[in-house]
Amino acid sequence: MRYGSLIKMLPLLLDQPVATWDLPRDQPYREKQIRTWILQRFVSSYDEMTDLSLPLRTSLASRFRLRAAEPITIQGSEDTTRKFLWKLGDGSLIESVLIPATLSKTGTRSARLTICVSSQVGCAYGCRFCASGLDGWRRNLTAAEIIGQVLEAARIAGRRADNLVFMGMGEPLANLPNLLSALDLLISPANIGMGARHVTISTSGLAPQIEELAHHPFPFRLALSLHAASDEVRDQIMPVNKRYPMERLLAACDIFIAARKKLIFFEYILLAGINDSPEQARLLAQHAKRLHAKVNLIPYNKVEGLPYERPTEDAIHLFCRTLLAAGVRATVRREKGHDIDAACGQLRLQKMQEDKKI
Ligand code: SAH
Ligand code: SF4
């Protein structure tokens, strides 16, 4: 079923309480059948739900749009990073990236597939280097729209991703209720059954929400987008640092780690001349040791119109070596999607700029 105008603005089935699905009272098993079709077989139309009666299919189709996202562009191929630009029911654009596992050291390809999803349309946090916040924040994604990215990509790829990272557009911890509802469905074995250990939530540093998540039962992983090692530098590139300065943020992470005994990751985009000094590397090493964090260094992916540059390869390696010499676990992440604008928000930005030109 495509987006018929009658049901265009109606909410998605999965976002509605089951009572409103209006299932036949004497057929309680229908709910499970429908969930299986959507969450495990990734169907794109009610017609494919062949074990439902025709009147029930028609009734559902007349009231609930089934698909959360329609692909606008898909870049890349099966063996490479694939980048999806999705259009939501209200016309908003969001992005996801599907990343196959890198070659292992032995040269054999592991079968793992990682999906990077968006949590909001736009972003309110306005980190200076990021394309996602350039046009401001529009709205939170619903739980069904978060899951929809995983399901639509699974339908296109022929299988569901094994790992899920919230590193697309938006700040996931600013959309916590919908994020947690989506995770409920994604993780529960009766629904999608993804391993919670294979879910990573990335945040720009919302300290109160990090503390709240410390006591959440799901054992997901936390990635902290630090991108600077002192308030002085972080203030320049991440406005959120004014609200939750470094010490407040690191103290929240102390609580998270004490409660969960979980490894945390620092994400650190390297921006030439901004945050790549030996002094920043030394301070970063101190923070990483305090939290037993592993550091992922990310060479900056140039965003058209923004004044930041990727450091030279030598500078990147020097920074990494300084961390390693201090006894910190650190790797340089090679963005496989670099050549297809895989950093979050860039594809949408491009599309919006094109649309404005027309
Ligand atoms: N709002 C959350 C999650 C989405 S952004 C957060 O900030 O953590 C997640 C990641 O996107 C950032 O940590 C950074 O790793 C990456 N990112 C954003 N813009 C980028 C760019 N231009 N080049 C490389 N990585 C970028
Ligand atoms: Fe928002 Fe994350 Fe981009 Fe910052 S890096 S603007 S928090 S999406």
Using one digit for the tens of pLDDT, what is the confidence trace for 220-278?
A: 999 999 999 999 999 999 999 999 999 999 999 999 999 988 789 999 999 999 999 99
The DSSP secondary-structure symbol of 11 reads P
171 lines ligand 2 (CB under 6 A): yes
Q: What percent of the chain has pLDDT over 70?
A: 88
Q: Is the pLDDT of residue 280 over 60?
A: yes
Ligand 2 atom with least separation from CA of 227? 5
Give me the pLDDT at residue 340, please.
Answer: 46
Measured by CA distance, the residue closest to atom 1 of ligand 1 is 171
Distance 180 CA to ligand 2 centre (A): 19
Distance 27 CA to ligand 1 centre (A): 46
Give me the pLDDT at residue 263, please.
Answer: 85
Q: Can you state the angle between helices 313-325 and 278-291, rounded to 10 degrees?
A: 40
C-alpha triplet 274, 280, 281: angle, nearest 5°: 120
Determine the residue of 298, 300, 303, 346 to mutate for testing ligand 1's pocket, defined as the one with the most ligand atoms within 8 A of the Cβ atom. Answer: 298
Over residues 283-308, the mean pLDDT reads 95
DSSP secondary structure string for all residues of 27-82: -TTHHHHHHIIIIIS--SSGGG-TTS-HHHHHHHHHH-B--SEEEEEEES-TTS-E
Distance 95 CA to ligand 2 centre (A): 14
Q: Is the pLDDT of residue 38 over 50?
A: yes
123 lines ligand 2 (CB under 6 A): yes
Over residues 170-189, the mean pLDDT reads 94
Highest mean pLDDT: which range of 20-29, 92-101, 169-178, 328-337? 169-178
119 lines ligand 1 (CB under 6 A): no
Is-contact 69 88, C-beta < 8 A? yes
Over residues 151-159, the mean pLDDT reads 94
Distance 130 CA to ligand 2 centre (A): 6
Q: Is the pLDDT of residue 318 over 70?
A: yes
Q: Predicted confidence band at 217 (pLDDT cuts at 50, 70, 90)? A: confident
Distance 204 CA to ligand 2 centre (A): 6
- Architecture of the structural domain at 69-357: Alpha-Beta Barrel (3.20)
> What pTM was estimated for this model as a whole?
0.91
Give me the pLDDT at residue 130, please.
Answer: 93
- Collapsed DSSP state (helix, strand, coil) of residue 338: helix
Give me the pLDDT at residue 108, please.
Answer: 53
Is-contact 73 67, C-beta < 8 A? no
301 lines ligand 1 (CB under 6 A): yes
Give catalytic residue positions.
Answer: 95, 344
pLDDT in tens, 325-349: 999 999 998 755 444 455 566 667 6
Please give the structure tokens belonging to residue 323: 């961390």
Q: Is the pLDDT of residue 12 over 70?
A: yes
The pairing of strands 93-100 and 82-88 is: antiparallel
Give me the pLDDT at residue 3, please.
Answer: 42
* 140 CB-near residues (< 8 Å, 6+ apart): 119, 120, 121, 170, 174, 175, 178
Q: Is the pLDDT of residue 351 over 70?
A: no
CATH number of the structural domain 3-63: 1.10.150
Closest to 223 in 3D by CA, of 279, 153, 172, 289: 172
Return the domain boundaries, the chain. Answer: 3-63, 69-357
pLDDT in tens, 92-131: 999 999 988 754 545 555 578 999 999 999 999 999 999 9
- Collapsed DSSP state (helix, strand, coil) of residue 294: strand
300 lines ligand 1 (CB under 6 A): yes
- The CB-side HSE value for 39 (13 A sphere, CA atoms) comes to 24
Share the mean pLDDT of the chain. Answer: 89
From the CA of 305, which ligand is nearest? Answer: 1
How far apart CA 27 and CA 86 sit, in angstroms, is: 35
Q: Is the pLDDT of residue 303 over 60?
A: yes
